[in-house]
Structure formats: C-alpha cells, structure tokens
Structure 1
Amino acid sequence: MRAVSAAVLAVTAHRSVHDVLRTILTSARKLVGARYAALGIPDGAGGFAEFIADGVTDEQWSAIGPLPRTHGLLGQLLREPHPIRLADIRAHPNFRWWPAAHPDLTDFLGVPILDGDEFVGELFLANSCHEGGFTADDEELMRLLGAHAAIAIVNARLYERARELSIMEERNRIARELHDAVTQKLFSLRLTVDAAAALLERDPARAATELATVRRLAGAATEELRAIVDGQRPADLAGDGLDIALRKQAELLDRVHTATVSYTACDCVPTLTEARQRAVYRVAQEATHNALRHADATRVAVRMVVHNGSVELTVSDDGSGFDPRSAHGAGRRLGLASMRERARATGGVLTVRSEPGAGTTVRLVVPTGG
C-alpha cells in the first residue's frame, strides 16, 4: 500500500499530460515487476494520439516502426471496461502479430483507463519478473492505479487547456493594449517628425520645438510598452489620475495634430476602480485616435461627467463618419471591438453613433464605486 500511495502521489504531482503518462507507466511497471510496459491514449480515429513504452531502448523503439493501431487486443481494452490477464498473450483470440523488431511477449496484464464511461487510455504490462506470471493482486493494483491515472490525465488536460486559454488571453490583452495605446503615439510621432523635417531649414527654432515633442512622444511610447509588458496600468494614468491624464492627452494631441482637440470635465473627481479608470482612458484614446486618423476630423471634443452614480465619457468629432454596422479597415474594426470589450469587462455600456458625412460620437458609461 505504501508503494501504491507513492505511485499515486507521484502521478498527481505532475501537471503536464506527457509527464503524467510517463509517471503512470514507470509506476505501474515498478509496482508489479514487469519487464515491459506501455500506455496508449486513443485519438478517436483508429490510432493513438500518444503511445509510450518502458523497458525498451531507443534503438529498439526506432526499429519497431510505426505506432500500433487500436485493433486486436489493444482495441478490446478500449471497448470493454475489464482488465485482461493472460499467461500467454499469443493464446488470446484477438492477438494478431507484432513487428519483427518487437520484443517477444509472454504473460500479459492490460487495464483500461476509464473516466466514468469514457475510455481515456489503456495500460498494459508484459513478461512478469516473478515466477508464475501476473497475479490477481497485480490486477487489482493496476485497476486501482488506472482509476487514479484517469483522474490525473483529465486534470492534466484541464490544466493545459486552462494554460492555453490564459496565454491566448494575455496575447489578446497585449494586442489590444498595443493597438489602443502605442499605435496612437506612433502615429502622432510620425506626424511630428514630418512637421520638424518641413521646418528644419526655414524655421530651426520651431523645428527644435517639434523635435522636443518627438522626444516626449518617444518617451511616452516607451513607458506604454513597459506598462503593457508588465501588465500595469497606463503610465500617464498611474502618475496623474484619470482626469489629468485625459487632459494631458488632449493637450498633446491638440499640439501635434492640425485638428483642434479639447477636453472638458466636471469639477468632481470620479471614484472608479483601477480597471474602470483604465477602460475610460483607453476608450478615450481609441475614439480620439480614430477621429484623427480615419475620419479627417477638424474638431474632436472629449468630455467626462459624473451623474447618477456613473461616469460618462463622450468623444465627438466632426469627421467623415461611417456605418458602425459595417466598419471598414482592420484598424477601425479592431478598435471598435477593443472598446466594446473594455466596456463589457468593466460593467459599462458603450454606444457608437455615426453615419457617413455626419461625424461620430462614442459614449461610454461605467458605474462608480466598487
């Protein structure tokens, strides 16, 4: 029982499916004393998604050739929920053959690995190291290990899937943050560089001022990238708070772009969670960026007010407008999706009112407090 307990603990200690399978196999072979052991996970198409063996060398494994199929005796273990114990595997009616380089097998013990009614895999051992072959006690041990193996395999699969989802979510977060923050700053940076280049010969003093703005924008972009990688709140927001950060953003864009960008807010400072502050800030960034880059707006007005337990952000422009139901361009589609996702994730409501030739108004309402 101590050996079984140690085997179960070893199996459940792993989170990788491959590590779980390998530990099940070596534990089983050690528990009953077998010369050979193998474990297969079916792929649902007549083959094995994974098949590992213990007791053969790498050279022997290579010489054996392709993985077996789920037919014959191996197939029976994936159809019937009962162990199979034989004094000679070749005497079983479902035994077929093995490749020329395959080790000669005699006595055999195979158990299905079941998760409820689902056949998760199969474990089998051959050529007992003890006189008389495999016993009923060996069979019971393997049945017990197989039950724990099923739990460990299912848990390892769930862990790997959760990890994959976490990685996807993080990739999506970084893509959204890059689009919402850094793209805008790089766009402004490019315009400022163009302006500095145009002024360099005829007005060096103004060119120097523009280059100072370039340095500031480059520094801000660097800070944004660092915050994105670290998963932190936006650099401006972390240092100044929401109201001042929005004001500074509007002043910078007004300075860099030909369009007039203004910001107004009520006197009261909104009480928002960090996630909601970040959502308001990023939506303001994205909506303003869309107006300047895609809509050729001459005026962009950013406004934030607090009333009825909510913070309301509106970004209005007098640009070319568009049909929100069929937004064209990858950047605009991603931007709209990003704003809607930010609103949804923080319990807010986002509306976009626009039509070709009539400008655009983006409105975000998020609740205050916790």
Structure 2
Amino acid sequence: MTASNFPEETLAGGYAVYTDAVGELRRRYSFDFVAIGLTAFVGAPLKWIYSAGATGERHKRIVLAPGHGIGGIVIKSGKPMLFTDIDEEIDPQEYSSYPIVFAEDLRSFCALPLKKNGRVVGSLLAAFRSVEPNHVAVYQQMIDDLGDALCDLEVVSEGFMNFEKIVEEKRPAKSGAPIPHSEITRIIGAQEDERKRISRELHDGIAQELWSVSFSLKRLRDMSMGAEERALIDEAGANIERILDELHNITVELRPSALDHLGFASALRSQAAIFERTYGAEIVFEGELSTERFPQALETQAYRICQEAMLNACKYSDSDRIGVSIESAGGWLRVSVSDAGCGFDVEEPEIRGSGCGLPGMKERALLIGATLTIESGEEGTTVTLVAPMGTDEGAL
C-alpha cells in the first residue's frame, strides 16, 4: 500500500470520523483510553493519531517501528493482542517494549489490527487503567458490536497472539540480597566492552551490507521495467531504510559513536532524541560545558548514569517533560535529570525491570569518584551527578 491509498489528511489528524469513533467507543464501553494508530505506508512507523481519554499529549509523540510497541507488534503480526492484567502477564523486564503503557498508565488493554485494501495499516487500542474481572467481557462485547469494520477500516478480531504468563515466582524478589560491589564492577566492565564490540559489528558489518543492497536496488530501479516491478523495489527500499534506522537506534543504545567522537553532551542529546520518539516524553536540555571533551572514563560512566536516569524518567515517572541540566566549572562536572512525575521511595524502591538500574548507577559513580544523589517525592524525582574532571584512569 502506498501513501496515495491512505489520504494524507487522515494521517495529519483531519479525519473527524475517526475522532468521533474513538470518543464513542470510550463512552459506550466506559474505557479509560481509546486510540487509533496509523501508518502512512507499509513499513512506515505507527503514530497514535486519534485518541479519547488521554492524560496528555505524550502518547502522540510516540513513534513505533513495525514489531515494536503494541501498535508496531499488531501491525507486523496482523494479529490482535489482549492483556487483562499487565503486571501479571508481562515480564517487568519487557515493560519498555510497550511505551504507550507508560504514557497512559494502562493496566489492561485490547489491541486490534486495522486493514485497508487488504493490508494492515493501523491498530485500535482500547484500555483500562485498572484491573477488573469483567474487562474480558467488555472487550468481547466491543469486538462483537464492531463486527469486521470501524469507519472505513477492516477490523481483525480473530487469532489473538498467545503470550506466556509470567508467574509470581519467576519475578525478582523485592527483598533479595544486593549484588556485591565487586560483582557489579566486573559486570559493568564486561558489559561496556561487549557493547562496543556489538555496536561496531552492527555499524561496520550489517549496516554497510544493507547500504550496499539499497544502492543495488536503486540502480536496478533505473533500468527498464514495469510499474509493478518498480513499486516492489520501492517497497523493498523503504523496508531497508526502516531496518537501517532501527540498527542506528540499537547502536546508539549500545555505544553511540558520538560518545567516542563528539563527547558526552552530544551522545546524551542523541540518546534523548531516541527516548523522545520511543516514549513520547519531551526531554529539554539546559546549561553549558566549559569543554566539549572529558576523560574517557568520565564520559562513559556519566553517559551511562544519565542514560539510565532519562530512561527511568521516561518509563516510570508519568511525566510529559524531563529536564537535563549540564554544567562544568572549577574542575567538576555536574549533571541532573529531573521530572515532575509520581516519584518513588528512594530507600526501598519498588523493583521494576531487572532491578539493577539504581545499584548500577551508584556503582558507576563510585568508579569515577563521583557523588550521585537521588531525591524523589510527590513533586517528582531529581538525579544529580557531581564528578571530578580528573585524569583518564581505568576507562570502562
């Protein structure tokens, strides 16, 4: 399917019938949140364009590649999804795969693929912010009432994906023993080396091969052939571009080239841009540095600490705006990441994900002789790193 098959005004938010549809679904079934996500063409990212019951604009800034997030998974698989208790049915380590869950604090949802001209072009998401026994019946009633159509789109409501339920005993214990200091240090060093290696292989190996294939396709398109063949080549080229974008995001997550070539601040801004697209939160930078480069050990550890702080704010704070302040003076680097979100108990934080985030941040700060303070309450959370800009020793 091409963009011409799907009106541009629809993607720009000009289709009032979709706006009315999500509002009516929310009213009729008492959903807390309803949204329609659409793509411009096959292989293009999905955006949640039409919604009802949203807590803010954050969800509209989420951009999902095929196979990522609820909308991306639904589009790539062409199958519906259903979770009636997210905390019970999704591994906490996989929460980051569903950014809309964080953006709208969802606890139960049903996502249905939407088709046009026989191809999946979007997703209908209906959700609750609570867990109730009758939710399955509500979702089923909505499916029965919709039949196979929503406005001018076909609704796919059969063949739900099966997900393994994560039972309680598989989760990390909240009162588990802390990881020893020496073990975390060893893990950090090995992890950083492995990240460098994999990032380099992805960039210098797979990415370069894909660029070569893309170039060959462009040369092939210039040869004499029919419109159908050219359309297939264009679609293949678009898919390669999407894969290259995804590879770029992965390499930035692993070890951004900007960290090695441009320095700490540039790498952090690059990572922030990816988090903005993924989670929908706005990340605003302020402050200036007295120098662009720092010792390698300082750049690496400060970057990882701030990366984790920004990620936690995007995923757990429920804040639409995250502030990052960077400054250096008098031989010290000071960086703070703050949000105006829900906060958490710093002394006994709830374990979400792997549970290694905060201990890892503290350990990294110790490695460079820095001070890391975490303040959190009803007005939000602020993570502040103050590190000496000393000599480059033991770069990890």
* Same fold per superposition (TM over 0.5): no
Structure with greater helix share of residues: 1
Please report the TM-score for the alignment, with normalisation by the length of structure 1.
0.40
Which protein, 1 or 2, shows the higher relative CO under an 8 Å CA cutoff with sep ≥ 6?
A: 2
Please report the TM-score for the alignment, with normalisation by the length of structure 2.
0.38
